[in-house]
Amino acid sequence: MKKTTKWWIVAFVWCLGIAIATRQPFFTGDSTEQLVMNPFFDSAIVNFILRKLVHVTAFGLLALFFWLALAGKRYRYVIAWGLATLYGAVDEWHQSFISDRSGLVSDVLIDSTGAFLVLVGVYLFMRKKLKKT
């Protein structure tokens, strides 16, 4: 099996994991807020930050998997970012049909930002790596 095929499978499985997590009541704002109860901080703010960091991380990794799957392709950074952003939009649309969830455009922007940041990191890493050789 080609390396790129393996990365497409990883990306697909990651998308499936995101879709499954979306359907779980444990991942709603109310559920996660109970996990971060802290007498020193406003739990709503901590909960909000943690949940948005999960968006950044999940879609950043998804962009990385797409980037790896697109090895050797022209515009792979842009395509990987676009695919991760598109999946973020599909995921938010999907959430709009689930009770206790809401599909938010702001979450798509956060997903897209996570994908962008990871791909910028990959670009800088690869550029530095190529300069050494």
Domain range enclosing 55: 3-132
The reported pLDDT for the residue numbered 126 is: 94
Q: How far apart are CA 67 and CA 7, in angstroms?
A: 9
CA dihedral 35, 41, 46, 47 (to 10 degrees): 40
Specify the DSSP class assigned to residue 2.
-
**What global pTM score does this model have?**
0.84
pLDDT band at residue 39, thresholds of 50, 70 and 90? low
Q: Report the share of the chain in percent with pLDDT over 70.
A: 85
